Amino acid sequence: MTVVKEVGKCGLVAVLRDSSGAILIGVGRSLSSVFEVQMAENLAVLMGVSAAAEQGSMVLEVEIDSQLLARGCRQMSSLILLAW
């Protein structure tokens, strides 16, 4: 994820790997808007999860460096398991 405020653009990237670490696909997107870093990270995770769902993945391990986003993902994961 890259935020470039000077040119008013934001780049999002997600890489999907299999259980051995081999790259399955990479997805990227350039947005014409600048988001706060937290929002851009949220969008990148959503983009990666969406790509995984399109590939038919049922189990995901999300790697992120934002503690706030990690906490939110764990809470959401617990809610999904409870609903299932």
Rounded distance, CA 1 to CA 78, Å? Answer: 26
Q: Where are the domains of the chain?
A: 2-83
Note the pTM of the prediction, 2 decimals.
0.68
Residue 68: what pLDDT?
A: 79
Rounded distance, CA 35 to CA 64, Å? Answer: 17
Model confidence pLDDT, tens digit, residues 36-70: 777 888 888 888 888 888 888 877 777 777 787 77
Estimate the share of the chain in helix, then strand, then coil, as percent rounded to the nearest 5. Answer: 40, 25, 35
- Residue 22 pLDDT exceeds 80: yes
